[in-house]
Chain A
Amino acid sequence: MADGNGTLAQVRGLVKHFPITRGTIRKREVGQIRAVDGVTFDLYRGETLGLVGETGSGKTTVGRTMLRLYEPTAGEVIFDGVDLMSMKGKDLDRMRRRISMIFQDPFASLNPRMTIGSIVGEPLVVHEAGNKKKRQARVQQLLELVGLNPQFVNRYPHEFSGGQQQRIGIARALALDPELVICDEPISSLDVSIQAQIVNLLDRLQDELGLTYLFIAHDLSMVRHISDRIAVMYLGKIVELADRDSIYLNPLHPYTQALMSAVPVPDPDLLETRERVILKGDIPSPANPPTGCNFHTRCPVVRTDHCPLEEPELRELRPGHWVACHYAEEFLQ
């Protein structure tokens, strides 16, 4: 939980634009995909921050840019007091040991020609941690930690089911004792009955190892289950950020409200009573985002004389409850 443990990471004004180019020999830039467009948030030690949004909202790019898998266009990521974005070489490598990542597609993120022992042990080799014997012992320990039989070290990824493959990915992510784990949609490619197993595993590991999670997902019901705080992204910007219960009980941004009402719930009674907001149209292209409030093209409560003209700032309406909407006050309960 976000208690007095302090801040582990601060993301400040993070921007990542990808160039759109034409021509092969003489490449020229004809535009930019504004994948992440000024994102600011804090990560508290030991908490799980859920980052939700639809396709193209930039949530994965935020995670990858924090790890410097992408070079940011602008902005800072201060991890434990040091700015990751200005680090180079050995210093950066040392910092990277403290942050790791779990990927969405477990099979695609495991090398099919490596045994799971060498996959899980690879971070130890890369970062020159311990000798061969120590590394082997560590791999065994990691496999046990994620609920896999340590005798499977010499098997290959295809011999495992999707849920087990994700466990392998988790073991690899934990190899170097990270403090922060960026979970990029770790359960969305798994079957329903397996998702719960992985979520419980992540919960248990957090308790045992004191991990901090940035949990990226589009499944709001799972995010609510696992997160302490939740940030909702739309077109490269955070539109709302608050603790879990505030987001679910009193969402202040019209987009969050629509997103919540669109979550399918397997309960016919609940479906009859709840109010549904069906958004019109599609998410606009991040290459050409709308002016002003970028949600104004789909917003059910848009004021056409204001919203398309002025961009709303992320404001703290209640302690810890941030929202980027000019008219959010109207939804305060």
Chain B
Amino acid sequence: MNELLRIEDLQTRFYIRDGTVNAVNGVSYSINEGEILGVVGESGCGKSVHALSIMRLIPDPPGKIESGEVWFDGQDLLTVSDEEIRQVRGGRLAMVFQDPMSSLNPAMTVGFQIEEALQLHLGMNDQQAEDRTAELLTMVGIPDASNRLDDYPHQFSGGMRQRVMIAMGLSCDPKLLIADEPTTALDVTIQAQIVDLMKRLQAELGMAVMWITHDLGVVADLAEMVNVMYAGYIVERGNVRDVFKRTRHPYTLGLLRSLPGLEADPGAELATIPGIPPDLIDLEPGCPFAARCAYANEQCWTETPVLEPTESERHTVACWRWEDIMRGAV
């Protein structure tokens, strides 16, 4: 497997009146060609900001990518010129956003919005672009696509609009598609359709996908690898089976336990993680999860843990005490 994207020590901050928001705090990992990576975490954990940093879409000011390298297809996206990054964005590296209504232009037809990208990136003429757009919309499961090119976004349902967004993302054959909570605004039966569609498209087109979500269930269903993020750090990373079945970080464990499973005893009280996520303004050193962790000791409060391999090289965890917890020594 060839490496497609490698991120080294990415750090993004926002300078606002109340202080410095440490949104992404040194994130490093890589995605292989054709891999589906799930990025999970709760609101404010930096999952979206880290993706926007990769695309260089962080508004500056107040945001600033402080350090790091983002190697994609032989280029460091953080050092290339604005012209070059525009070539990459929407072309080899595409993004689908959470809310399809606010990311589509309501005053332009759906056909025009997709054709625009094709003409810009691939230099197609009107007819080619129109044909290709109809093809793309058919591929994402929009019935009677060639007759819907002149329709406006409001004429589509929520699920159909998200399909349009995916078609737009796919228009220039990206090598990596970043999908930021693409199904969060949708109903479960529609979500199941989109997840199914994504699996099919990924198998057909062989692109890599980064799927950002707070829904652990969707990740378990779709992804191959998963990054669990908390307070701007990756706290656990590995393939889906390792992370969900041989969970090593107390936060991941807490998240999984706080969900009522469909097979679990329905009457029992739910396990909870006490407290709330830390304020990212002027984040203190030490493990970001220490304040909510039942296992935190002196070291957790003072030193920030880094990702280290567990039983398997590919399954890493940022916790000082994972071995103690696993052995039941605490």
Q: How far is the CB of B216 from chain A (nearest CB, A)?
A: 4
Verify A271–B220 contact, CB threshold 8 A. yes
Q: Which of B42, B189, B195 contacts A259 (CB 8 A)?
A: B189
Q: Which of B160, B195, B220, B245 contacts A282 (CB 8 A)?
A: B160
Task: Give residues 283-316 of A contacting B (CB, 8 Å).
Answer: 283
CA distance A54 to B188 in the complex (A): 8
CA distance A279 to B241 in the complex (A): 27
With A191-B42, A265-B261 in contact, is A271–B187 under 8 Å at CB? no
CA distance A262 to B196 in the complex (A): 11
Verify A265–B187 contact, CB threshold 8 A. no
Please name all residues of chain B whose beta carbon is closer than 8 Å to the beta carbon of A270 when the two chains form the complex.
261-263
Q: Which of B195, B217, B258 contacts A265 (CB 8 A)?
A: B217
Please name all residues of chain A whose beta carbon is closer than 8 Å to the beta carbon of B244 when the two chains form the complex.
266-268
Stretch at the interface among A101-109, A125-133, A215-223, A318-326: A215-223
Q: Which of A220, A264, A279 contacts B220 (CB 8 A)?
A: A264
CA distance A191 to B258 in the complex (A): 11
Q: Which residue of A lies closest to B264 (CB)?
A: A225
Stretch at the interface among B28-36, B73-81, B101-109, B266-274: B266-274
Task: Give residues 188-221 of A contacting B (CB, 8 Å).
Answer: 191-197, 199-200, 203, 218, 220-221
Chain A 266-278 near chain B by CB (<8 Å), digits 1 or 0: 1111110000101
Verify A278–B192 contact, CB threshold 8 A. yes
With A265-B220, A266-B220 in contact, is A224–B188 under 8 Å at CB? no
Verify A193–B272 contact, CB threshold 8 A. yes
With A194-B276, A196-B272, A283-B187 in contact, is A221–B260 under 8 Å at CB? yes
Please name all residues of chain B whose beta carbon is closer than 8 Å to the beta carbon of A267 when the two chains form the complex.
220, 244, 261
Chain B 215-252 near chain A by CB (<8 Å), digits 1 or 0: 11111110000000000000000001100110000000
Q: Which residue of A lies closest to B157 (CB)?
A: A282
CA distance A232 to B160 in the complex (A): 24
Please name all residues of chain B whose beta carbon is closer than 8 Å to the beta carbon of A195 when the two chains form the complex.
258
CA distance A55 to B184 in the complex (A): 13
CA distance A204 to B286 in the complex (A): 35
Q: Does B256 contact A (CB under 8 A)?
A: yes
Residue of A220, A266, A271 with highest tally of chain B CB at under 10 A: A266
CA distance A225 to B258 in the complex (A): 11
Q: How far is the CB of B244 from chain A (nearest CB, A)?
A: 6
Interface size class of B (residues with CB under 8 A): 35 or more
Interface size class of A (residues with CB under 8 A): 35 or more
Please name all residues of chain A whose beta carbon is closer than 8 Å to the beta carbon of B195 when the two chains form the complex.
264
Please name all residues of chain B whose beta carbon is closer than 8 Å to the beta carbon of A161 when the two chains form the complex.
276
Please name all residues of chain A whose beta carbon is closer than 8 Å to the beta carbon of B276 when the two chains form the complex.
161, 163-164, 194
Q: How far is the CB of B268 from chain A (nearest CB, A)?
A: 8
Q: Which of B216, B217, B245, B269 contacts A203 (CB 8 A)?
A: B269
Q: Does B294 contact A (CB under 8 A)?
A: no
Q: Which residue of B lies closest to A264 (CB)?
A: B217
Q: Does A74 contact B (CB under 8 A)?
A: no
A-B contact pairs, 20 of them (CB 8 A): A163-B276, A194-B276, A196-B273, A197-B272, A203-B269, A225-B260, A225-B270, A259-B189, A260-B262, A264-B221, A265-B217, A266-B216, A266-B220, A266-B259, A268-B220, A269-B245, A271-B220, A282-B157, A282-B159, A283-B187
Q: Which residues in B have some Cβ–Cβ distance to A below 8 Å?
A: 42-43, 157-160, 187-193, 195-196, 214-221, 240-241, 244-245, 254-256, 258-263, 266, 269-273, 276-277
Known: A224-B262, A259-B189, A266-B261. 16 other contacts (CB 8 A): A54-B187, A54-B189, A55-B187, A191-B42, A192-B216, A193-B254, A195-B258, A196-B270, A200-B270, A218-B188, A224-B266, A248-B262, A261-B192, A267-B244, A269-B245, A271-B221
